[in-house]
Protein backbone atom coordinates (compact mmCIF):
# COMPACT_ATOMS: atom_id res chain seq x y z
CA UNK A 1 0.00 0.00 0.00
CA UNK A 2 1.44 3.37 -1.04
CA UNK A 3 1.39 6.31 1.35
CA UNK A 4 -0.06 9.66 0.29
CA UNK A 5 3.26 11.06 -0.97
CA UNK A 6 4.01 8.02 -3.11
CA UNK A 7 0.52 8.12 -4.55
CA UNK A 8 1.31 11.64 -5.75
CA UNK A 9 4.57 10.38 -7.24
CA UNK A 10 2.71 7.53 -8.97
CA UNK A 11 0.32 10.03 -10.53
CA UNK A 12 3.27 11.99 -11.97
CA UNK A 13 4.88 8.71 -13.10
CA UNK A 14 1.81 7.72 -15.08
CA UNK A 15 2.15 10.95 -17.07
CA UNK A 16 5.92 11.37 -17.32
CA UNK A 17 7.65 8.11 -16.37
CA UNK A 18 9.83 7.80 -19.47
CA UNK A 19 13.13 6.66 -17.94
CA UNK A 20 13.56 2.88 -17.85
CA UNK A 21 14.12 3.00 -14.08
CA UNK A 22 11.32 5.48 -13.39
CA UNK A 23 9.02 3.04 -11.59
CA UNK A 24 11.79 2.05 -9.17
CA UNK A 25 11.55 5.43 -7.43
CA UNK A 26 8.46 4.12 -5.61
CA UNK A 27 10.59 1.60 -3.74
CA UNK A 28 11.66 2.23 -0.12
CA UNK A 29 14.55 4.60 0.52
CA UNK A 30 13.71 7.48 -1.83
CA UNK A 31 12.83 11.05 -0.99
CA UNK A 32 10.84 13.38 -3.23
CA UNK A 33 11.04 17.03 -4.18
CA UNK A 34 8.04 18.48 -5.98
CA UNK A 35 8.43 21.53 -8.20
CA UNK A 36 4.63 21.45 -8.55
CA UNK A 37 1.89 18.87 -9.03
CA UNK A 38 3.28 17.93 -12.45
CA UNK A 39 7.02 17.75 -11.71
CA UNK A 40 8.97 15.69 -9.23
CA UNK A 41 12.54 14.56 -8.56
CA UNK A 42 13.16 11.29 -6.69
CA UNK A 43 16.50 11.14 -4.88
CA UNK A 44 18.46 9.70 -2.00
CA UNK A 45 20.26 11.87 0.52
CA UNK A 46 23.78 10.64 1.28
CA UNK A 47 24.28 13.33 3.90
CA UNK A 48 26.42 15.40 1.55
CA UNK A 49 24.63 15.04 -1.77
CA UNK A 50 21.24 14.46 -3.31
CA UNK A 51 21.59 11.76 -5.95
CA UNK A 52 18.55 11.67 -8.21
CA UNK A 53 17.31 8.40 -9.68
CA UNK A 54 17.06 9.03 -13.38
CA UNK A 55 15.55 12.06 -15.03
CA UNK A 56 13.23 14.60 -13.42
CA UNK A 57 9.67 13.29 -13.64
CA UNK A 58 8.12 15.99 -15.79
CA UNK A 59 7.24 16.87 -19.37
CA UNK A 60 10.27 16.87 -21.67
CA UNK A 61 10.27 20.66 -22.32
CA UNK A 62 10.53 21.26 -18.55
CA UNK A 63 13.52 18.98 -17.82
CA UNK A 64 16.07 21.80 -17.65
CA UNK A 65 13.83 24.08 -15.59
CA UNK A 66 12.99 21.41 -13.00
CA UNK A 67 16.58 20.14 -12.75
CA UNK A 68 17.96 23.63 -12.20
CA UNK A 69 15.33 24.45 -9.58
CA UNK A 70 16.18 21.20 -7.80
CA UNK A 71 19.86 22.15 -7.94
CA UNK A 72 19.19 25.57 -6.38
CA UNK A 73 17.14 23.97 -3.63
CA UNK A 74 19.94 21.46 -2.94
CA UNK A 75 22.49 24.28 -2.76
CA UNK A 76 20.32 26.06 -0.21
CA UNK A 77 20.40 22.85 1.84
CA UNK A 78 24.19 22.56 1.35
CA UNK A 79 23.98 19.47 -0.78
CA UNK A 80 25.66 18.55 -4.05
CA UNK A 81 23.48 17.22 -6.87
CA UNK A 82 23.76 14.43 -9.45
CA UNK A 83 21.29 12.78 -11.81
CA UNK A 84 22.26 9.13 -12.27
CA UNK A 85 21.03 6.81 -15.01
CA UNK A 86 19.72 9.40 -17.45
CA UNK A 87 19.29 9.04 -21.18
CA UNK A 88 19.91 11.41 -24.07
CA UNK A 89 16.91 13.62 -23.31
CA UNK A 90 18.51 14.91 -20.11
CA UNK A 91 22.03 15.12 -21.54
CA UNK A 92 20.70 17.21 -24.44
CA UNK A 93 18.47 19.40 -22.27
CA UNK A 94 20.96 20.33 -19.53
CA UNK A 95 24.12 22.40 -20.12
CA UNK A 96 25.82 20.34 -17.41
CA UNK A 97 28.65 17.86 -17.41
CA UNK A 98 27.91 14.25 -18.30
CA UNK A 99 29.74 10.97 -17.90
CA UNK A 100 28.92 7.69 -19.62
CA UNK A 101 28.31 5.06 -16.93
CA UNK A 102 27.12 2.14 -19.04
CA UNK A 103 24.73 0.94 -21.69
CA UNK A 104 21.14 -0.21 -21.58
CA UNK A 105 19.98 -2.99 -23.92
CA UNK A 106 16.52 -2.55 -25.40
CA UNK A 107 14.31 -4.86 -27.41
CA UNK A 108 11.37 -4.27 -29.68
CA UNK A 109 9.16 -7.09 -28.33
CA UNK A 110 7.41 -7.68 -31.66
CA UNK A 111 10.84 -8.61 -33.09
CA UNK A 112 11.56 -11.23 -30.40
CA UNK A 113 10.54 -14.22 -32.51
CA UNK A 114 13.02 -13.09 -35.17
CA UNK A 115 15.71 -12.95 -32.47
CA UNK A 116 14.94 -16.57 -31.56
CA UNK A 117 15.08 -17.71 -35.17
CA UNK A 118 18.50 -16.09 -35.59
CA UNK A 119 19.99 -17.51 -32.38
CA UNK A 120 20.46 -21.32 -32.20
CA UNK A 121 22.25 -21.03 -28.84
CA UNK A 122 19.31 -19.17 -27.29
CA UNK A 123 16.84 -21.70 -28.66
CA UNK A 124 19.00 -24.47 -27.18
CA UNK A 125 18.87 -22.85 -23.73
CA UNK A 126 15.09 -22.70 -23.93
CA UNK A 127 14.98 -26.33 -25.04
CA UNK A 128 17.16 -27.43 -22.11
CA UNK A 129 14.90 -25.77 -19.56
CA UNK A 130 11.74 -27.18 -21.12
CA UNK A 131 13.32 -30.65 -21.34
CA UNK A 132 13.87 -30.49 -17.57
CA UNK A 133 10.19 -29.75 -17.08
CA UNK A 134 10.46 -26.01 -16.43
CA UNK A 135 7.34 -24.03 -17.25
CA UNK A 136 6.61 -20.31 -16.86
CA UNK A 137 3.38 -18.59 -15.92
CA UNK A 138 2.32 -15.20 -14.60
CA UNK A 139 1.73 -15.42 -10.87
CA UNK A 140 -1.68 -14.28 -9.69
CA UNK A 141 -1.88 -11.30 -7.38
CA UNK A 142 -3.76 -13.25 -4.70
CA UNK A 143 -0.91 -15.82 -4.60
CA UNK A 144 1.61 -13.17 -3.59
CA UNK A 145 -0.10 -10.37 -1.72
CA UNK A 146 -0.27 -12.16 1.64
CA UNK A 147 2.99 -12.43 3.57
CA UNK A 148 1.96 -15.91 4.73
CA UNK A 149 0.99 -17.34 1.34
CA UNK A 150 3.02 -20.47 0.43
CA UNK A 151 4.16 -19.08 -2.94
CA UNK A 152 5.34 -15.79 -1.47
CA UNK A 153 7.35 -17.64 1.19
CA UNK A 154 8.94 -19.80 -1.54
CA UNK A 155 9.90 -16.72 -3.54
CA UNK A 156 11.33 -15.04 -0.44
CA UNK A 157 13.52 -18.11 0.06
CA UNK A 158 14.73 -17.84 -3.53
CA UNK A 159 15.62 -14.18 -2.98
CA UNK A 160 17.49 -14.98 0.25
CA UNK A 161 19.44 -17.77 -1.45
CA UNK A 162 20.25 -15.51 -4.41
CA UNK A 163 21.55 -12.74 -2.14
CA UNK A 164 23.60 -15.20 -0.09
CA UNK A 165 25.50 -16.32 -3.19
CA UNK A 166 26.73 -12.79 -3.95
CA UNK A 167 30.02 -11.50 -2.62
CA UNK A 168 28.96 -7.87 -2.44
CA UNK A 169 26.87 -6.62 0.47
CA UNK A 170 23.27 -5.78 -0.49
CA UNK A 171 22.99 -2.38 -2.14
CA UNK A 172 20.26 0.22 -2.43
CA UNK A 173 19.23 3.06 -4.71
CA UNK A 174 18.44 1.61 -8.16
CA UNK A 175 19.75 -1.92 -7.51
CA UNK A 176 18.07 -2.91 -4.26
CA UNK A 177 16.49 -6.34 -4.45
CA UNK A 178 12.93 -5.98 -3.16
CA UNK A 179 10.90 -7.75 -5.85
CA UNK A 180 7.73 -8.48 -3.90
CA UNK A 181 6.68 -4.89 -3.30
CA UNK A 182 4.20 -2.82 -5.31
CA UNK A 183 2.64 -6.01 -6.65
CA UNK A 184 -0.42 -4.14 -7.94
CA UNK A 185 1.75 -2.66 -10.70
CA UNK A 186 4.36 -5.38 -11.27
CA UNK A 187 3.99 -8.46 -13.40
CA UNK A 188 5.65 -11.55 -11.86
CA UNK A 189 6.74 -14.35 -14.22
CA UNK A 190 7.17 -17.58 -12.29
CA UNK A 191 9.37 -20.51 -13.41
CA UNK A 192 8.29 -23.85 -11.92
CA UNK A 193 9.61 -27.38 -12.09
CA UNK A 194 7.26 -30.13 -10.93
CA UNK A 195 5.13 -27.47 -9.27
CA UNK A 196 8.06 -26.02 -7.32
CA UNK A 197 9.35 -22.45 -7.98
CA UNK A 198 12.93 -22.42 -9.32
CA UNK A 199 13.09 -18.79 -10.42
CA UNK A 200 11.09 -15.71 -11.19
CA UNK A 201 11.26 -12.38 -12.97
CA UNK A 202 9.47 -9.14 -12.17
CA UNK A 203 8.50 -6.65 -14.84
CA UNK A 204 7.90 -3.01 -13.90
CA UNK A 205 5.98 -0.68 -16.21
CA UNK A 206 7.56 2.23 -18.06
CA UNK A 207 4.41 4.28 -18.43
CA UNK A 208 5.40 6.98 -20.93
CA UNK A 209 7.16 4.80 -23.54
CA UNK A 210 5.21 2.40 -23.19
CA UNK A 211 7.36 -0.51 -22.09
CA UNK A 212 8.61 -2.81 -19.38
CA UNK A 213 11.74 -3.00 -17.26
CA UNK A 214 12.63 -6.64 -16.57
CA UNK A 215 13.89 -5.71 -13.15
CA UNK A 216 14.57 -8.70 -10.91
CA UNK A 217 15.72 -11.95 -12.51
CA UNK A 218 16.08 -14.40 -9.62
CA UNK A 219 17.24 -17.94 -10.31
CA UNK A 220 17.36 -20.63 -7.64
CA UNK A 221 20.64 -22.47 -7.00
CA UNK A 222 19.22 -25.70 -8.42
CA UNK A 223 17.35 -24.17 -11.37
CA UNK A 224 18.07 -26.01 -14.65
CA UNK A 225 20.15 -24.33 -17.32
CA UNK A 226 18.01 -22.09 -19.50
CA UNK A 227 15.62 -21.04 -16.72
CA UNK A 228 16.66 -17.39 -16.92
CA UNK A 229 16.31 -17.35 -20.69
CA UNK A 230 12.89 -19.02 -20.46
CA UNK A 231 11.69 -16.31 -18.07
CA UNK A 232 12.91 -13.57 -20.40
CA UNK A 233 11.28 -15.32 -23.37
CA UNK A 234 7.91 -15.35 -21.58
CA UNK A 235 8.20 -11.69 -20.65
CA UNK A 236 9.09 -10.71 -24.22
CA UNK A 237 6.14 -12.66 -25.62
CA UNK A 238 3.86 -11.05 -23.04
CA UNK A 239 5.09 -7.55 -23.91
CA UNK A 240 4.53 -8.21 -27.61
CA UNK A 241 0.81 -8.68 -26.85
CA UNK A 242 0.53 -5.27 -25.16
CA UNK A 243 -1.39 -2.56 -27.03
CA UNK A 244 0.83 0.06 -28.67
CA UNK A 245 1.23 3.68 -27.62
CA UNK A 246 2.43 6.98 -29.06
CA UNK A 247 5.99 5.64 -29.43
CA UNK A 248 7.66 2.34 -30.24
CA UNK A 249 7.11 -0.19 -27.42
CA UNK A 250 10.28 -1.39 -25.74
CA UNK A 251 11.53 -3.88 -23.17
CA UNK A 252 14.80 -3.53 -21.31
CA UNK A 253 16.81 -5.55 -18.82
CA UNK A 254 18.22 -2.33 -17.38
CA UNK A 255 21.69 -0.88 -17.19
CA UNK A 256 24.81 -2.91 -17.93
CA UNK A 257 27.07 -0.84 -15.63
CA UNK A 258 30.44 0.35 -16.96
CA UNK A 259 29.73 -1.20 -20.37
CA UNK A 260 30.69 0.61 -23.55
CA UNK A 261 33.30 3.31 -24.11
CA UNK A 262 33.52 4.59 -20.55
CA UNK A 263 36.45 6.78 -19.51
CA UNK A 264 39.75 5.05 -18.59
CA UNK A 265 39.18 5.50 -14.85
CA UNK A 266 35.86 3.64 -15.06
CA UNK A 267 37.42 0.92 -17.22
CA UNK A 268 40.00 0.45 -14.46
CA UNK A 269 37.19 0.30 -11.88
CA UNK A 270 35.44 -2.32 -14.05
CA UNK A 271 38.56 -4.52 -14.00
CA UNK A 272 39.40 -3.95 -10.34
CA UNK A 273 35.83 -4.58 -9.20
CA UNK A 274 35.37 -7.83 -11.11
CA UNK A 275 36.09 -9.85 -7.96
CA UNK A 276 32.90 -8.40 -6.43
CA UNK A 277 30.69 -7.93 -9.48
CA UNK A 278 30.86 -9.64 -12.85
CA UNK A 279 30.43 -6.58 -15.10
CA UNK A 280 31.54 -8.43 -18.22
CA UNK A 281 29.38 -11.45 -17.47
CA UNK A 282 26.26 -9.33 -16.98
CA UNK A 283 26.78 -7.52 -20.27
CA UNK A 284 27.55 -10.80 -22.07
CA UNK A 285 24.31 -12.37 -20.78
CA UNK A 286 22.28 -9.43 -22.06
CA UNK A 287 24.17 -9.39 -25.36
CA UNK A 288 23.38 -13.09 -25.92
CA UNK A 289 19.72 -12.10 -26.01
CA UNK A 290 20.45 -9.93 -29.07
CA UNK A 291 18.97 -6.54 -28.11
CA UNK A 292 17.58 -4.27 -30.81
CA UNK A 293 19.84 -1.45 -29.62
CA UNK A 294 22.19 -0.41 -26.83
CA UNK A 295 21.30 2.99 -25.37
CA UNK A 296 24.04 5.05 -23.63
CA UNK A 297 23.30 5.85 -19.98
CA UNK A 298 24.89 8.84 -18.27
CA UNK A 299 25.59 10.53 -14.98
CA UNK A 300 24.86 14.28 -15.21
CA UNK A 301 26.09 16.86 -12.69
CA UNK A 302 26.40 20.66 -12.50
CA UNK A 303 29.39 22.64 -13.78
CA UNK A 304 31.98 23.34 -11.11
CA UNK A 305 31.29 20.06 -9.32
CA UNK A 306 34.16 17.58 -9.57
CA UNK A 307 33.69 14.29 -11.39
CA UNK A 308 35.49 12.23 -8.72
CA UNK A 309 33.49 13.72 -5.86
CA UNK A 310 30.26 13.18 -7.81
CA UNK A 311 31.13 9.53 -8.50
CA UNK A 312 31.81 9.01 -4.79
CA UNK A 313 28.40 10.54 -4.01
CA UNK A 314 26.77 8.07 -6.40
CA UNK A 315 28.65 5.13 -4.88
CA UNK A 316 27.48 6.16 -1.41
CA UNK A 317 23.91 6.28 -2.71
CA UNK A 318 24.23 2.70 -3.94
CA UNK A 319 26.06 1.58 -0.78
CA UNK A 320 23.38 3.13 1.49
CA UNK A 321 26.18 4.24 3.82
CA UNK A 322 29.74 5.53 3.87
CA UNK A 323 31.92 3.48 1.57
CA UNK A 324 34.12 2.24 4.44
CA UNK A 325 31.11 0.71 6.18
CA UNK A 326 29.99 -0.88 2.94
CA UNK A 327 33.48 -2.29 2.39
CA UNK A 328 33.50 -3.82 5.86
CA UNK A 329 30.06 -5.39 5.32
CA UNK A 330 31.28 -6.85 2.04
CA UNK A 331 34.49 -8.09 3.64
CA UNK A 332 32.54 -9.97 6.28
CA UNK A 333 30.36 -11.68 3.66
CA UNK A 334 33.16 -13.49 1.81
CA UNK A 335 34.42 -15.87 0.92
CA UNK A 336 36.30 -14.84 -2.23
CA UNK A 337 37.26 -11.33 -1.16
CA UNK A 338 38.11 -12.52 2.33
CA UNK A 339 40.43 -15.34 1.34
CA UNK A 340 42.19 -13.30 -1.34
CA UNK A 341 42.81 -10.46 1.08
CA UNK A 342 44.04 -12.78 3.82
CA UNK A 343 46.35 -14.55 1.38
CA UNK A 344 47.72 -11.19 0.25
CA UNK A 345 48.33 -10.00 3.81
CA UNK A 346 50.14 -13.22 4.64
CA UNK A 347 52.93 -12.35 2.19
CA UNK A 348 54.44 -9.37 4.10
CA UNK A 349 53.73 -11.07 7.42
CA UNK A 350 55.61 -14.21 6.42
CA UNK A 351 58.54 -12.12 5.20
CA UNK A 352 58.55 -10.31 8.53
CA UNK A 353 58.68 -13.58 10.44
CA UNK A 354 61.46 -14.90 8.24
CA UNK A 355 63.79 -11.91 8.36
CA UNK A 356 62.91 -9.76 11.40
CA UNK A 357 65.89 -9.89 13.74
CA UNK A 358 64.19 -8.21 16.71
CA UNK A 359 61.42 -10.80 16.98
CA UNK A 360 62.08 -13.41 19.62
CA UNK A 361 61.39 -17.11 19.06
CA UNK A 362 62.05 -19.88 21.58
CA UNK A 363 64.23 -21.55 18.93
CA UNK A 364 65.18 -21.04 15.28
CA UNK A 365 63.20 -24.07 14.22
CA UNK A 366 60.06 -22.42 15.69
CA UNK A 367 60.59 -19.41 13.42
CA UNK A 368 60.78 -21.60 10.32
CA UNK A 369 57.86 -23.73 11.44
CA UNK A 370 55.71 -20.58 11.54
CA UNK A 371 57.03 -19.46 8.15
CA UNK A 372 56.23 -22.86 6.63
CA UNK A 373 52.76 -22.84 8.19
CA UNK A 374 51.98 -19.38 6.80
CA UNK A 375 53.19 -20.32 3.30
CA UNK A 376 50.97 -23.41 3.28
CA UNK A 377 48.06 -21.36 4.64
CA UNK A 378 48.48 -18.77 1.88
CA UNK A 379 48.42 -21.53 -0.76
CA UNK A 380 45.25 -23.00 0.78
CA UNK A 381 43.57 -19.59 0.87
CA UNK A 382 44.37 -18.96 -2.78
CA UNK A 383 42.97 -22.37 -3.62
CA UNK A 384 39.74 -21.48 -1.82
CA UNK A 385 39.59 -18.15 -3.65
CA UNK A 386 39.68 -19.95 -6.99
CA UNK A 387 37.15 -22.61 -6.02
CA UNK A 388 35.43 -22.91 -2.68
CA UNK A 389 35.68 -26.33 -1.05
CA UNK A 390 33.78 -27.21 2.10
CA UNK A 391 36.40 -29.74 3.18
CA UNK A 392 39.38 -27.46 2.61
CA UNK A 393 37.59 -24.54 4.27
CA UNK A 394 37.03 -26.69 7.36
CA UNK A 395 40.74 -27.51 7.53
CA UNK A 396 41.73 -23.84 7.01
CA UNK A 397 39.36 -22.53 9.69
CA UNK A 398 40.59 -25.15 12.16
CA UNK A 399 44.23 -24.38 11.34
CA UNK A 400 43.74 -20.64 11.77
CA UNK A 401 41.95 -21.26 15.08
CA UNK A 402 44.85 -23.36 16.35
CA UNK A 403 47.23 -20.68 15.07
CA UNK A 404 45.40 -18.04 17.12
CA UNK A 405 45.52 -20.11 20.31
CA UNK A 406 49.16 -21.20 19.96
CA UNK A 407 50.30 -17.69 19.05
CA UNK A 408 48.53 -16.23 22.07
CA UNK A 409 50.24 -18.80 24.30
CA UNK A 410 53.67 -18.11 22.79
CA UNK A 411 53.30 -14.35 23.16
CA UNK A 412 52.13 -14.59 26.79
CA UNK A 413 54.77 -17.10 27.90
CA UNK A 414 57.77 -16.17 25.78
CA UNK A 415 57.52 -12.75 24.09
CA UNK A 416 55.90 -10.49 26.69
CA UNK A 417 58.64 -10.99 29.28
CA UNK A 418 61.22 -10.06 26.59
CA UNK A 419 59.64 -6.91 25.16
CA UNK A 420 62.27 -4.23 24.59
CA UNK A 421 60.50 -1.58 22.52
CA UNK A 422 57.21 -0.26 21.20
CA UNK A 423 57.93 -2.10 17.94
CA UNK A 424 58.14 -5.40 19.83
CA UNK A 425 54.80 -4.66 21.49
CA UNK A 426 53.18 -3.77 18.17
CA UNK A 427 54.42 -6.95 16.48
CA UNK A 428 53.14 -8.99 19.43
CA UNK A 429 49.73 -7.36 19.18
CA UNK A 430 49.49 -8.01 15.42
CA UNK A 431 50.67 -11.59 15.90
CA UNK A 432 47.76 -12.26 18.27
CA UNK A 433 45.07 -10.09 16.66
CA UNK A 434 45.60 -11.15 13.02
CA UNK A 435 44.87 -14.90 13.35
CA UNK A 436 42.03 -14.22 15.79
CA UNK A 437 40.34 -11.81 13.38
CA UNK A 438 41.06 -14.11 10.44
CA UNK A 439 39.44 -17.01 12.30
CA UNK A 440 36.25 -15.00 12.91
CA UNK A 441 36.03 -13.77 9.30
CA UNK A 442 36.72 -17.19 7.78
CA UNK A 443 34.28 -18.87 10.13
CA UNK A 444 31.56 -16.38 9.11
CA UNK A 445 32.38 -16.93 5.43
CA UNK A 446 32.13 -20.68 5.85
CA UNK A 447 28.80 -20.38 7.67
CA UNK A 448 27.45 -18.24 4.81
CA UNK A 449 28.43 -20.91 2.31
CA UNK A 450 26.88 -23.78 4.24
CA UNK A 451 23.86 -22.53 6.17
CA UNK A 452 20.50 -23.31 4.52
CA UNK A 453 18.17 -20.45 3.68
CA UNK A 454 15.64 -20.15 6.51
CA UNK A 455 11.97 -20.71 5.74
455 residues of the chain, pLDDT tens digit each: 678 999 999 999 999 999 998 999 998 889 999 999 999 999 999 999 999 999 999 999 999 999 999 999 999 999 999 999 999 999 999 999 999 999 999 999 989 999 999 999 999 999 999 999 999 999 998 888 887 889 999 998 888 888 777 766 677 787 777 777 777 888 999 999 999 999 999 999 999 888 999 988 999 988 999 999 999 999 999 988 876 554 567 899 999 998 888 988 888 888 877 766 778 888 999 999 999 999 999 999 999 899 999 999 999 998 887 777 777 666 666 556 667 777 777 888 888 777 766 567 788 888 889 889 989 988 888 888 777 788 888 898 899 999 989 989 988 888 888 887 887 788 788 888 888 888 887 887 777 665 444 33
- Beta 187-193 vs 250-252: how paired, if at all? unpaired
Query: Structure pTM?
Result: 0.78
Answer whether 345's CB lies under 8 Å from 363's CB: no
Dihedral, CA of residue 225, residue 227, residue 233 and residue 235, to nearest 10:
-160
Q: Cα 424 to chain center, whole Å?
A: 43
Distance CA(441)–CA(339), nearest Å, equals: 9
Distance CA(355)–CA(7), nearest Å, equals: 68
Q: Give kind and range of the element (H or E) at residue 34.
A: strand 31-36
Amino acid sequence: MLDAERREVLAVLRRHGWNATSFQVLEPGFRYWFADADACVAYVDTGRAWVAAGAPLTAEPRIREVAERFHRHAQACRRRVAFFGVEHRVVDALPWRSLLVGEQPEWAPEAWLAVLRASPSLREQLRRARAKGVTVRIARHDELVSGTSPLRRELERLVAAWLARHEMAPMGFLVQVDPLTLLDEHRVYLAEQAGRPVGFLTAAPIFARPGWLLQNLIRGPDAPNGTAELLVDSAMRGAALEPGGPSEPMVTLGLAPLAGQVVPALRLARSAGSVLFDFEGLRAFKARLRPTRWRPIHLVYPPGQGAVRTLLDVLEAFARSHLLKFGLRTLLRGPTVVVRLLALLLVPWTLLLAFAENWHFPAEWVRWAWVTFDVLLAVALLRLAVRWSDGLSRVVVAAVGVDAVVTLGEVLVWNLPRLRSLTDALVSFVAVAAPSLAFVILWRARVRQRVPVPP
